[in-house]
Structure 1
């Protein structure tokens, strides 16, 4: 929806955040009505999904009343004024528990908001809920010993992914119109694709990481907006981006735009699926090819490419991330190892990489950055799958993709290169599989060129057959 008209086909809890903000501003619906509609939806479906770990119902309703008063008084209103939003429980929230999916942090209450949370609030947004995640945000499935497992609203026997799986499930199920997640190898884009929503991992440093755990790995971790439409993700990104004077990587000016010199309407786009990230489910490969054809029809120069320089980015990224996080978690968990979920126990049991292995991983990352620098001299955008498969069964350790058996880590094959390199990547809801599970596509751009990805993503959003059907809950 783009005209801020309340669609009678969709209840309030399935309206876009941009639409809700416009309707509140025009006094066609009150913020209290919007917040209450989402609270009612949470009560109705969260028992099946388990995406909510902390609900801020009373505070949200009080904030909604204040928002409605501001509208009535003609106050200056922010772009999210009166609209509820959700927050992955890895991000600090002042006065509200932030438990990071771990018994080691159960009951922990921060005194300050993460920068991203503070910016959504400053834009007029109303914090509604904290969403579930795996322990320490360190797994591709959302499960932990504090708040349990989250289910995919499209099929409760499947995972919504991780580590922002609670966030993606909540948004897909209409419990929140927009939220804040984070991504170290897949963690906003993969869950978005598994649940049929959109998410942006911006250029490394575009969005401050301040107030997110674990801070030690912030060279690869990214905070990002998640929503049901690319338009709402663009709104979220516009609020989140820019330095905060704390995160030493967040130094890019808000207005920086590497794509400002693009010829409008004509981009050079390369696309690839199984040739670079195989095996890939044939239906997902077909969705990528379909998106490429659609972009060609829109007047862009589109051609298949290969990425012979790709190497093993996931292996390098995991060496670097685990090389930094393992000592931190070992020290944190000392004497409390019995309180760890399997993923935390696995981290503690992981040996520190050798210095030589760590240096080799750093070298691989630098080589890949250089290779993509050359690639983006020839192309403006790379089109790929997000996940090589649709939403997987809970707890699956091995998967069969296009007739080949792969480990669960293969889910990160097409996303991890862009954390290692810091390139921006957008997950776009696009198609449905024959099992009625969502399929997403990924757009990757040159550093600081989020604007081009968001523009193209809006053209592709749900255009491959992922219609407006909602999960049957």
Structure 2
């Protein structure tokens, strides 16, 4: 098989790979080997893979091939490799969580999400890199090092699912499982030109993800190069598992669709007015996507979200209020083994009861405000990140002429973790520096169907096309 043939495999999406395997046009062994060759060629530059399960994957591919030849019933991911953020448990495979404290950790069982991808016929191929405890917007740690953005190795792929986004963008994996507490699937997806879904809180079980103490805010979610693959991943991952007490939505729960039959989808869009400062090229992409939706028949209107307040501050208060005491206890006597992010956590003071309670009150108020918004609109279109992929380690950034702290990267994503609303990162275009630009679609609780439909209509409309990282 020549390089062109291999590229046709490792840059095919999971839906297409599953179809080719099912129709016997490709064998699972060919699919796995093409991805292993791609990993060997590109991972030394990107450093997205922390544990490679190549031998096991080839064995599983041979079993999958026999199932195809025998005419057995095949799952929707049969014979397709997938990647797994290293915060999710994998039976018998190291799960290091980006920390020396867990460098030897080998779980006995799979996270629910991993088990569901495997049950759908998917073949686990790798664990991917993350910041320590998944607690930073850049993917770096003392165990497995720093991950680079495949579009520009001097830029970050983001965090905390930065290893996932980089691996998928570079063709090392067609589809994977990440997680999101403030930005962590959507932001890395936008930085690397792929798609990712943070579904309604509780739609996808959190079982088997670390840390458990912040499960009120975390979301496990699918990541892939196309929206249709994200929709496929979501269809496999969703539904209660009988363990996660927040995962109460039945697998086939209908969306909360209030539209009258034949009524067009109502979309509000906003950029600087709610999340500024925003890079002008990103605002232009959001406006372009809004115009595209209008051309497709949606009712589109620019909005302002005056009720937004400071959701990032509130989210950071409640998340750190829960994780700080836990990490202090976990790391007691081993503080010298922590990365800078872990040190920052243990050195952080616990919030006062008043501050913590005030943040929870802000969360409830924001939920109510968005409930009102979604009485008028079916979706919100906005930026994912206010800027394109940032230089490694940047603590201050200049966005549209304004100096902002690194935390500003979370300004347009954190409101939807605080409220538990579903949000989709859609690959849309490229900047003047040839860096990916994504747009974000948000819908009312349990109405993932609307944003997945809209995302499929607009993805890669702004110039990204079939362009890929030049590695």
Q: CA deviation at 1:470?
A: 1.1
Unpaired segments of 5 or more residues in structure 1? Answer: 1-6
Counterpart Cα distance in 1 of 2:162 and 2:5 = 29
Tell me which of 437, 443, 455 is aligned to 2:441. 443
Write the distance in 1 (CA, Å) between the matches of 2:230 and 2:255: 19
Per the TM alignment, residue 254 of structure 1 is displaced from its structure 2 partner at its CA by 1.5
Aligned: 1:209 with 2:206:
yes
Deviation at residue 264 of structure 1 after TM alignment = 4.9
Report the counterpart of residue 223 of structure 1 in structure 2: 220
Structure 2 match to 1:103: 100
Q: How does 1:276-425 map to 2 (within 5 A)?
A: 276-425=274-423
Matches within 5 A, 1:196-275: 196-262=193-259, 263-264=261-262, 266-275=264-273
Residue 142 of structure 2 corresponds to residue 145 of structure 1: yes
The alignment of Structure 1 onto Structure 2 pairs a total of residues equal to 467
How far apart are 1:132 and its partner, in Å? 0.1
Offset at 1:437? 0.1
C-alpha distance in structure 2 between counterparts of 1:176 and 1:323, whole Å: 35
Q: Distance in 1 between matches of 2:164 and 2:292?
A: 30
Q: How far 1:253 sits from its partner (Å)?
A: 1.2
Secondary structure in 1 matching 2:308:
coil
Question: Which deviates more, 462-471 or 23-32?
Answer: 462-471
Do structure 1's residue 38 and structure 2's residue 35 form an aligned pair? yes
Name the structure 2 match of 1:4: none
The aligned runs of 1:47-66 (5 Å cut-off) are: 47-66=44-63
For residues 450-470 of structure 1, the C-alpha deviation after alignment (integer angstroms, 9 at most, x for no partner) is 011100000011011111111
Secondary structure in 1 matching 2:33: helix
1:8: how far off? 6.3
Question: Alpha-carbon deviation of 1:273?
Answer: 0.2
Quick one: structure 1 residues 350 and 417, their matched pair in 2 at CA, closer, same or farther if it must change by over 3 Å?
Answer: same
Q: Distance in 2 between matches of 1:9 and 1:279?
A: 42
- Aligned equivalent of 1:179: 176
Distance 2:462 2:249 in 1: 34
- The 3-state SS of whatever aligns with 1:429 is strand
1:258 offset after TM fit, Å? 2.8
- Residues 140-199 of structure 1 deviation map (CA, whole Å, 9 limit, x = unaligned): 000000000000000000000000000000000000000000000000000000000000
In the alignment, is the contact (CA less than 8 A) between 1:201 and 1:425 conserved in 2? yes
Match of 1:455 in 2: 453
- 8 A contact 2:89–2:109 mirrored in 1: yes
- Partner-residue secondary structure (3-state), 1:11: helix
Equivalence for 1:79: 76
Separation in structure 1 between the aligned mates of residue 211 and residue 218 of structure 2, nearest angstrom: 9
Aligned partner of 1:3 in structure 2 is none
Q: Do the aligned residues in 1 keep the contact of 2:240 with 2:247 (CA within 8 Å)? A: yes
Is contact 1:259–1:452 with CA below 8 Å preserved after alignment? no
- Listed one character per residue, the Cα deviations across residues 31-50 of structure 1 (whole Å, up to 9, x for unaligned) are 00000000000000000000
Look up the match of 2:67: 70
2:256/2:445 contact within 8 Å kept:
no
Q: Deviations over 1:190-213 (max 9, x none)?
A: 000000000000000000000000
- What is the match of residue 428 of structure 1? 426
- Cα distance in 2 for partners of 1:40, 1:11 equals 13
- Counterpart CA distance in 2 for 1:360 and 1:106 is 37
Deviation at residue 260 of structure 1 after TM alignment = 3.9
Which ranges of structure 2 fall in alignment gaps of 5 or more residues? none
Residues 16-42 of structure 1, C-alpha deviations (whole Å, 9 max, x = no match): 100000000000000000000000000
1:9 to partner: Cα distance: 10
Deviates more, 1:259-268 or 1:14-23: 259-268
- Contact 1:265-1:300 within 8 A present in 2 as well: no
**In structure 2, do the counterparts of structure 1 residues 8 and 95 end up closer, same or farther at CA, with 3 Å as the change threshold?**
closer
Query: What's the CA shift string for 1:104-153, capped at 9, x where partnerless?
Result: 00011000000000000000000000000000000000000000000000
How far did 1:73 drift?
0.5
What SS does the corresponding residue of 2:323 show, helix, strand or coil? helix
